[in-house]
Structure 1
Amino acid sequence: MTEAKNDVIPDAEVLAQTAAAVREAGSVLLERFGAVAGYRTREDLMRLLAANDEAALEVLRPRLSRLRPDARWVEDELAGGALPAGQWWVVDPAEGNVNHLHALPEWAVTATLVRADEPVLTVVHLPLTGQTYTALAGGGAFLDGRPLRVSGAADLGLSLVATSQARPNEDERVVRRVGDSIGAMLRAALVVRTSVPATLHLADVAAGRVDAFWQFAGARADLLPGALLVTEAGGRVSDAEGRPWSPAGESFLAAAPGVHAAAVATLSR
């Protein structure tokens, strides 16, 4: 991919150095992982979540800022919508943070460079397994250096599909839409998985382990890493109606090409 005019370090090298920074941040969180964290109030929960984020960001913020000094930083990992012009770091320092606090294995560290509202490169690191997913726009998607490819599924009725809760305390309209979509997919697909975080489902789609993933609403940090992974692994990314997806959209769908149309039809009913 052609690097931006004002960039000194090529995107491919930025990707390699980003992966090293994300792995280091993952090691910090791994040291904090273990027993279930106790909390009795929402304030306690928010304090624990913030402590994990801050521990990882102490590694990520200076390292990534040096790689792209002109890139701005998205401060709120739960924010959605289109990004202003320019380059942005979209980072989730503890993707699946609640799982981490509950001593569950489904959590990761992610960092995505976005340019002109499109993901340019991404790293998703799973500290418990040591696995690292990477993708570069136009350069493919990889798991620990091995190329990824979405599944060859052609029948939604034989497919494993997944969805995720975008955020706590979601708008009632979105909650109803999520419930209706799960019911529709339970009737149309073989098996439906529902869990957080979204990024790990999308990594599974990119690796061909899951055939489709959808979500209503959602944060940029949840969806941009997986969108690039799936696209570079040969999958299709759109909104739930089959239109081009952007972070400003109200729905998201990533699927193997052979079941994308059937997934759109199911979610659009």
Structure 2
Amino acid sequence: MAEQWQDVLDHAVAVAQKAGKVVREALQSDRKVSTKSSSIDLVTQTDQKVEQLIIQSVKETFPAHRFIGEESVAAGEPCDLTDEPTWIIDPIDGTTNFVHTFPFVAVSIGFLVNKQVEVGVVYSCLEDKMFVARRGKGAFCNGKQLRVSDQKDIHCSIVATEFGSNRDGGAVEKIFSSLRKVVCLPVHGVRGAGSAAINLCLVASGCVEAYYEIGVHVWDVAAGALMVTEAGGVLMDVEGGALDMMSRRILAANNRHIAEQIVGQIQAFTPQRDDAPPQQHRRFYPK
């Protein structure tokens, strides 16, 4: 008897590879850019094309499964996570990177059952790195098993974070206040790949000790979150409680000691939840 959800993992890897090829080809052509919630929350025709490719492929093989896709939600579909088998898709995590040809662009596919992530696939298209994880079976990149860093000293750590697309003055002030406190712990450095999925994979790979962000979405983190825990890391809310992937707040770290020290530096705020009624207003934004 085949192991449970292995067929899902195999299909997710195959469709992520196809999606990655579309992304790489699109980089050679003109990329028409639109916006969603603000002038810096970008979307391209490639985002939409890749999401349609993934959903159509999955529907043909798993017709009873549900979907939450970034572009589908932006178009008005509900972001309702049930106990049913659900694919959570970010067709291009790092759209701003894609628009500017900054080399960290990922296809992120998470698969949840009973609201628990069973399978995660993150394909860093331009690096040709395929990150995969299955609950209880470990996390791997191009076949090599991943382990988080064994660093226990926050002062010898690298922390990843992002500024997100929220430019509200109060939120920006809290983001910079938190960053200042983290830098002044001090830590070895602060980095950011411009992709939540890749930042989580960097934690899982042991390249950085921690990653935190306020303003991410469930499709940004579903797959990468499993990568972290299967590589031996921990996940929590930025204020130290249990992670709620619909809350748009996440802290991932190699161990709880590092995580708790970062929690003490974060000036948190609460964005609108992913499962709140959508309030998206898309318009054309010339490149």
* Fold match by TM threshold 0.5: yes
Structure-2 separation of matches of 1:199 and 1:177: 23
Is 1:184 matched with 2:181? yes
Which of 207, 210, 213 does residue 209 from structure 1 map onto?
207
Alignment partner, residue 54 of structure 2: 60
Q: Report how far residue 250 of structure 1 moved.
A: 5.0
Q: Report how far residue 38 of structure 1 moved.
A: 7.3
Structure-1 separation of matches of 2:70 and 2:259: 31
Listed as ranges, the matches of 1:177-256 within 5 Å are 177-188=174-185, 189-249=187-247, 251-256=249-254
Structure-1 separation of matches of 2:32 and 2:88: 29
Deviations 1:82-105 (A, max 9, x none): 723322211011111121111111
Is 1:32 matched with 2:31? no
Alignment partner, residue 67 of structure 2: 73
Q: Report how far residue 58 of structure 1 moved.
A: 3.8
Structure-1 separation of matches of 2:56 and 2:29: 30
Listed as ranges, the matches of 1:54-133 within 5 Å are 54-76=48-70, 83-133=81-131
Which shifted more, 110-119 or 200-209? 110-119
C-alpha change, 1:212 and 1:86, in structure 2 (3 Å) is same
Query: Would you say how many aligned residue pairs link Structure 1 and Structure 2?
Result: 259
Deviations 1:95-137 (A, max 9, x none): 1112111111111111111222221101111221211000111
Give the letter aligned to residue 144 of structure 1. N
- Percent of aligned positions that are identical: 27
Give the letter aligned to residue 19 of structure 2. A
Q: Report how far residue 221 of structure 1 moved.
A: 1.0
Give the letter aligned to residue 183 of structure 1. R
The answer to whether the 8 A contact 2:228-2:252 is kept is yes
Give the letter aligned to residue 267 of structure 1. I
The answer to whether the 8 A contact 1:95-1:197 is kept is yes
Which shifted more, 70-79 or 121-130? 70-79
Listed as ranges, the matches of 1:142-157 within 5 Å are 142-157=140-155
The answer to whether the 8 A contact 2:175-2:267 is kept is no
Which shifted more, 101-110 or 227-236? 101-110
Which shifted more, 83-92 or 234-243? 83-92
Deviations 1:200-255 (A, max 9, x none): 11110000001000011320011111111000000010012221101133521100
Q: Report how far residue 30 of structure 1 moved.
A: 0.5
The answer to whether the 8 A contact 1:82-1:248 is kept is no
Alignment partner, residue 134 of structure 1: 132
Give the letter aligned to residue 144 of structure 2. R
TM-score (normalizing by structure 1): 0.86
Deviations 1:124-181 (A, max 9, x none): 1122121100011111111011110000011111111010133x24554433322221
The answer to whether the 8 A contact 1:82-1:246 is kept is no
Structure-2 separation of matches of 1:264 and 1:12: 36
| Superposition RMSD in Å | 2.8
Question: For 1:241, what is the secondary structure of its paired residue?
Answer: coil
Question: For 1:267, what is the secondary structure of its paired residue?
Answer: coil
Give the letter aligned to residue 49 of structure 2. A
Question: For 1:61, what is the secondary structure of its paired residue?
Answer: helix
The answer to whether the 8 A contact 2:59-2:65 is kept is yes
C-alpha change, 1:38 and 1:18, in structure 2 (3 Å) is closer
C-alpha change, 1:187 and 1:81, in structure 2 (3 Å) is farther
Which shifted more, 175-184 or 211-220? 175-184
Q: Which runs of 4+ in 1 moved over 3 A?
A: 34-39, 75-82, 169-174
| Gaps in structure 2 of 5+ consecutive residues | 269-287
TM-score (normalizing by structure 2): 0.81
